Structure 1
């Protein structure tokens, strides 16, 4: 046996260091950097939001994070929630500009 060989074991296959049973695992996908940025920038987004809009921004961030953690994120939910966050916080906010680039990559 050598590294990179494929082995079959009762409906499960192992290739290199990946193990699966028909599941698809995406490496280097655009979801992880986006989720990381949302988590990292959450406080800044809430700080930049006007007081009257903070609860809405918090709820929309929660909705986006839930979608990004799902096995099949709903891009329309992410798109709609992010558009509303950008409208409330302001498109010139640095965290909004940074995350908008990642959202665009995710939605592409």
Structure 2
């Protein structure tokens, strides 16, 4: 379970950096202090489920994008810039549909 929270924290950190926010700003926006944000990003502090949606709203990402894959694999879209990630997800979904028809 520790790996899950470390991966979640890394995703929060990447999304925060992509928004140009520091830990203090993110903490203020979600009602936590900077130390808590640091601990979350390092996987040392677990968050309540409702906080997933708080983080996603403030970071302007889908809540799902902050969650690691259940089997521990990295998501192929992790390296895709956030502003085109939705487009890339649609392309992959359409390709999977087409593959299923063949």
TM-score (normalised: structure 2): 0.37
Larger radius of gyration: 1
Q: Which has the higher strand share?
A: 1
Structure number having the greater helix percentage: 2
